[in-house]
Structure 1
Amino acid sequence: MIYHGNRFKLKAGVTQEQIEEALELMHTQGREIPVVKSYLVGREFGSGGFDWGAVFALEDLDAYWDYLTHPAHTRTEREGMRLLERFEAYDITDDDDPDFAAKVAALQQRHRDTDPVLKDLLAELPVNTGVSAVPAAGSGAA
């Protein structure tokens, strides 16, 4: 099982209406993406100064790819990324494959490579960390 998480801080000036629309997009992912086993969208109370977060439970790496490329997810990316000051994506898994992190990085890279709009949106974020971060030129990081 993979728990794919997102934490984000909104830009100054984002309206309550925009927040509600963005959160509804996250809920739509949970309701409409068939491979999502369960999900939670809510306020972030951890360290790091994030405002909101979401976690989506996925069965395996095939489901992860289906989640990344589902229209509900790509719509959230296109509409939501513009509202963010900081974004972090992370994964928690009980998969004991020693290559799990590299496989997730490859899926995220493939997702960016097949979607230049997303790659640009991620690159424009002031702070983007975790599994979806666009690697810095020459860093080799994912």
Structure 2
Amino acid sequence: MIYHSIRMKAKAGVTPQQVEEALESMREHGRVVPAVRTYVVGRDHGGDFDWGGVFVIEDLDGYWEYLTHPAHARTDRIGMPLVERYESFDITDDGDPDLGAKIADLHRRRYEADPELAALVGTPTRS
């Protein structure tokens, strides 16, 4: 299993309504992306972040489905303009020592296929 985690700190001036719209979009992609086994979205306690989410995905095929699903892209487009900073990381019980590199490659492929999204999240694409 892969536990995909996101932590976010809202920009100054972001309204509670904007935050709730972004969080509801995260919940929606948790509900509608078939690869998501379970999820939680809510307040982040234990660091310098305001909000977060964890999405449990079975394997790399499911991770790719999650990354490329239109509901996930919608969440990025709603939420990223509201975020001062964010942290995304994965925890897994998979024994593959190359899994981290494989996950990074999925992210790279996603951003290469969608340069607008890459610019929105601050991820450079290769030329």
TM-score range, shorter chain: over 0.9
2:26 alignment partner in structure 1: 26
2:58 alignment partner in structure 1: 59
Gaps of 5+ in 1: 124-133, 138-142
TM-score, normalised via structure 1 length: 0.86
Structure 1 residue 79 displacement after superposition: 1.2
**1:80 paired to 2:79:** yes
Q: Distance in 1 between matches of 2:25 and 2:125?
A: 29
Q: Distance in 2 between matches of 1:117 and 1:75?
A: 13
Structure 1 residue 36 displacement after superposition: 0.4
Which secondary structure state, in structure 2, belongs to the residue aligned with residue 54 of structure 1?
strand
Identity %: 58
Which secondary structure state, in structure 1, belongs to the residue aligned with residue 86 of structure 2?
strand
The aligned runs of 1:40-51 (5 Å cut-off) are 40-47=40-47, 49-51=48-50
Q: Distance in 1 between matches of 2:125 and 2:85?
A: 16
The AA in structure 2 aligned to 1:83 is: L
Residues paired across the two proteins, number:
126
The AA in structure 1 aligned to 2:18 is: Q
- The structure where helix makes up a greater share of residues is 2
Q: Distance in 2 between matches of 1:136 and 1:35?
A: 26
The AA in structure 2 aligned to 1:28 is: E
Pairwise CA RMSD of aligned residues? 1.4
1:116 alignment partner in structure 2: 115
Gaps of 5+ in 2: none
TM-score, normalised via structure 2 length: 0.95
4+ runs deviating over 4 angstroms: none
1:39 alignment partner in structure 2: 39
Residues 115 and 125 of structure 2 are in contact (CA less than 8 Å); yes or no, is this contact kept in structure 1? no
